[in-house]
Amino acid sequence: MDLAVIFSVINAGLLLYFISLYVGIYRDRKAMYTLGLAAFAALMLFQNALTAFSYATMTGYFGEAVLPFLFTMSILQFGALAILLRVSI
């Protein structure tokens, strides 16, 4: 469970970077597409913060059998964000 929380926090950091990147591009070029990407990243950031909070505070409510699935979701999202980071910079 601790690794799932760690990766959720890392994902949140990546999403903060994407928000600042997309807002900066929007300010320079006024492209609505990047504003939409910033909004999407902000919603994903909210989801990640809620997920990390849930992992950290509701561990007792989860059965042990579900923990690998929660960790897998965090890892998959990290992989997707890492790919997006690679193509964005």
CB-based contact 28:9 (threshold 8 Å): no
Tokens of residue 76, six digits: 């998959």
Tell me if the pTM is above 0.75.
yes
- The predicted structure's pLDDT at residue 10: 94
- Angstrom distance (rounded) from CA 78 to CA 88: 15
- The predicted structure's pLDDT at residue 84: 95
- The predicted structure's pLDDT at residue 1: 67
In this prediction, the residues of the chain whose per-residue pLDDT falls under 70 are 1
- The predicted structure's pLDDT at residue 39: 97
- Angstrom distance (rounded) from CA 12 to CA 55: 14
